[in-house]
Amino acid sequence: MGTYHIVTGASGFIGANIVKALNARGIDNVIAVDNLKKADKFKNLVDCEIADYLDKHEFIDLVLGGHFDGAVEAIFHEGACSDTMETDGHYMMENNYRYSLDLLDFCLDHEVPFLYASSASVYGGGRIFQESREHEGPLNVYGYSKFLFDQIVRRRIGPNASRTDSQVVGFRYFNVYGPREQHKGRMASVAFHHFNQYRATGKVKLFEGCDGYANGAQSRDFVYVDDVVKVNLYFLDHPRKSGIFNLGTGRAQPFNDIATSTVNACRTLEGKLKLSLQEMIEQGIIEYVDFPEALKGKYQSFTQADISALRAVGYDDAFATVEQGVMNYVEHLSK
Q: What percent of the chain has pLDDT over 90?
A: 78
Helix (H) or strand (E) holding 245: strand 243-247
Maximum C-alpha span of the chain: 63
The mean per-residue pLDDT over the stretch 51-64 comes to: 95
Among 50, 59, 61, 54, which residue's Cα sits nearest to residue 16?
50
Give residue-wise pLDDT tens across range 136-192: 999 888 888 899 999 999 998 876 666 678 999 999 999 999 999 999 888 899 999
Task: Determine what percent of the chain is predicted with pLDDT higher than 70.
Answer: 94
d(CA 89, CA 311): 35
Q: What is the pLDDT of residues 262-309, one digit of tens each?
A: 999 999 999 999 999 999 999 999 999 999 988 877 778 899 999 999
Instruction: Note if 329 is an active site residue.
Output: no
Summarised one tens digit per residue, pLDDT across range 309-330 is 999 999 999 999 999 999 999 9
Say if residue 86's pLDDT is above 60. Answer: no
Q: How sure is the predictor about 88, in pLDDT bands with cuts at 50, 70 and 90?
A: low
> What pTM does this model have?
0.94
- pLDDT at residue 90 in the model: 64
- pLDDT band, very low/low/confident/very high, at 234 (cuts 50, 70, 90): very high
Q: Which of 53, 97, 184, 288 is catalytic?
A: 184
* Burial (0-12, 13-18, 19+ Cβ within 10 Å), 161: buried
**Confidence at 69, pLDDT banded by 50, 70, 90:** very high
Q: Is 146 a catalytic residue?
A: no
pLDDT, average across residues 249-264: 98
Active-site residue identified among 99, 142, 177, 198: 142
Taking the C-alpha atoms of residue 132 and residue 311, their distance in angstroms, rounded to an integer, is: 16
One-letter amino acid for residue 202 of the chain? G
